């Protein structure tokens, strides 16, 4: 069998030299964003990181091999129209390796691979969580349990508003995941700035880095979730949001959507139903998170040099 994890030289060199590195997931562009914009977004956020002095490490699975630091060509391949690519959480990685498939890694798988490669900051759009109706379906994203035992910093726009947000926060508490709002005590809801839930806040990237260092000092192994709200001008009108989400949920129930197909189905339905408005917001959320992740990555390496 081939190597268990392939880390590109530009990533391992940056990690070894204590240069700032930010990990990026691939499910967001293989299963979250609609084509062809997905590839533009994936490459644009990498460039934004480079422009701010950070090495981007996009993570995905190529021919079954978990790869940290995808090349532009590999990103274009995974994100191409009609290219066979599977959505992979942590537990899917061994099956993907045995079968040699190509995959987009979710937050859970990306966090694992980033941590293994020595990367401590990761930016995504919106974390997975407890789905509405989970009391009967048991549908809770593997992202939550993964973050309980991977000591990295994840910057996300809160959790996706398609979820049961209060239940997700309860589970994060149980799992010991450290949750802070970025310059806000209002926990963001991905497409909207305010989910209605309250969390602790940090006032700067430096303070987020200090939280991560304090965690390490205590020997805790959980992630720090930095919840960064989308800019006010980019959020979806909450009324429109609730209406299209209700439609998307009806459509998902009608189509019998379950398991890992559910989140991509709901996002895609909302992107279409709003003629791309939620897609624009999704991209804005992601860009904002990448900017904050870059600042935290800088703040974290300062003391190590
Ligand atoms: N953020 C986005 N779009 C996405 C995702 C995050 O803006 O598509 C992905 C992440 O990969 C996350 C996954 O881990 O959605 C959650 O899927 P599920 O609910 O099936 O665990
Ligand atoms: Mn699920």
Task: Check if the beta carbon of residue 107 is closer than 8 Å to that of residue 75.
Answer: no
Angle 82-282-178 from CA coordinates, rounded to 5° = 115
Is the torsion defined by CA of 36, 68, 225, 45 positive or negative? negative
Active site residue 160: yes
> Taking the model in full, what pTM does it have?
0.96
What number does the ligand 1 atom closest to the CA of 104 have? Answer: 11
Q: Are residues 195 and 137 in the same domain?
A: yes
The count of C-alpha atoms lying within 13 angstroms of the C-alpha of 216, restricted to the half-sphere facing its C-beta, is 11
pLDDT of residue 304: 61
User: Which of 90, 119, 148 is the last residue before a domain boundary?
Assistant: 119
pLDDT of residue 3: 85
User: What DSSP designation does 233 have?
Assistant: G
Q: What percent helix, strand, coil does the chain show, rounded to 5? A: 50, 20, 30
Would you call 100 helix, strand, or coil by DSSP?
A: coil
Which of 35, 88, 128, 141 best tests ligand 1's pocket when mutated (most atoms within 8 Å of CB)?
128
* Choice among 25, 140, 249, 268 that is catalytic: 25
What number does the ligand 1 atom closest to the CA of 106 have? Answer: 11
Active site residue 99: no
CATH number of the domain bearing residue 152? 3.40.1790.10
Q: Are residues 161 and 239 in the same domain?
A: yes
The structure tokens listed for 247 are 């439609």
Q: Are residues 289 and 198 in the same domain?
A: yes
pLDDT of residue 161: 86
Between CA 291 and CA 58 the distance in angstroms is: 15
User: Which of 102, 119, 136 is the last residue before a domain boundary?
Assistant: 119
User: What DSSP designation does 29 have?
Assistant: I
pLDDT of residue 191: 94
Q: Are residues 106 and 155 in the same domain?
A: no
User: Which of 63, 91, 119 is the last residue before a domain boundary?
Assistant: 119
Between CA 212 and CA 209 the distance in angstroms is: 5
Q: Are residues 175 and 286 in the same domain?
A: yes
Between CA 282 and CA 27 the distance in angstroms is: 13
User: What DSSP designation does 296 have?
Assistant: H
Q: Are residues 109 and 245 in the same domain?
A: no
Q: Are residues 180 and 300 in the same domain?
A: yes
pLDDT of residue 302: 85
What number does the ligand 1 atom closest to the CA of 126 have? Answer: 1
pLDDT of residue 26: 98
Taking the centre of ligand 2 as the mean of its atom positions, its distance from the CA of residue 259, in whole angstroms, is 5
Is the torsion defined by CA of 24, 95, 62, 78 positive or negative? negative
Q: Is 126 in the pocket of ligand 1 (CB under 6 A)?
A: yes
pLDDT of residue 216: 97
Between CA 27 and CA 117 the distance in angstroms is: 19
* Chunked mean pLDDT (size 10), the chain, 305 residues: 89 98 98 94 98 98 98 98 96 98 98 98 97 93 97 96 95 98 97 95 98 98 98 93 93 92 93 94 97 98 72
**Residue 91 exposed, middle or buried by CB count within 10 Å (0-12, 13-18, 19+):** exposed
Q: Are residues 114 and 222 in the same domain?
A: no
Q: Are residues 113 and 149 in the same domain?
A: no
Look at the chain and report how many structural domains it folds into. 2
Q: Are residues 260 and 301 in the same domain?
A: yes
Q: Are residues 195 and 229 in the same domain?
A: yes
Q: Which residues contact 101 (CB under 8 A, 6 or more apart)?
A: 61, 63, 64, 84, 85, 86
Rg, Å, the chain Cα set: 18
Q: Are residues 174 and 304 in the same domain?
A: yes
Task: Check if the beta carbon of residue 58 is closer than 8 Å to that of residue 66.
Answer: no
Strand bridging mode 21-24 / 178-182: unpaired
Domain range for 107 is 1-119
| H/E element, 130 | none
């Amino acid at each position: 069998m081939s190597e268990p994890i392939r880390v590109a030289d530009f990533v391992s060199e940056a990690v070894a030299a204590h240069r700032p590195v930010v990990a990026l997931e691939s499910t967001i562009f293989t299963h979250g964003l609609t084509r062809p914009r997905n590839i533009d977004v994936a490459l644009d956020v990498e460039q934004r990181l480079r422009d701010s002095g950070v090495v981007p490490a996009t993570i995905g699975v190529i021919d079954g091999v978990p790869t940290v630091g995808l090349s532009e060509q590999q990103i274009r391949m995974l994100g191409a129209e009609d290219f066979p690519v599977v959505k992979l959480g942590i537990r899917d990685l061994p099956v993907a390796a045995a079968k040699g498939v190509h995959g987009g890694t979710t937050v859970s798988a990306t966090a694992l691979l980033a941590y293994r490669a020595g990367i401590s900051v990761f930016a995504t759009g919106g974390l997975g969580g407890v789905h509405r109706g989970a009391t009967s379906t048991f549908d809770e994203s593997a992202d939550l349990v993964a973050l309980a035992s991977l000591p990295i910093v994840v910057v996300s726009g809160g959790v996706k508003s398609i979820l049961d947000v209060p239940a997700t926060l309860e589970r994060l508490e149980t799992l010991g995941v450290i949750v802070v709002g970025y310059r806000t005590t209002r926990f963001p809801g991905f497409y909207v700035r305010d989910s209605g839930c309250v969390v602790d806040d940090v006032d700067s990237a430096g303070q987020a880095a200090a939280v991560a260092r304090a965690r390490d000092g205590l020997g805790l192994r959980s992630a720090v979730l930095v919840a960064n709200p989308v800019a006010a001008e980019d959020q979806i009108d909450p009324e429109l949001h609730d209406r299209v989400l209700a439609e998307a949920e009806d459509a998902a129930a009608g189509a019998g959507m379950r398991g890992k197909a559910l989140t991509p189905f709901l996002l895609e339905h909302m992107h279409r139903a709003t003629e791309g408005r939620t897609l624009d917001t999704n991209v804005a959320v992601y860009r904002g998170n990448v900017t904050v992740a870059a600042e935290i990555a800088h703040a974290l390496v300062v003391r190590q040099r």
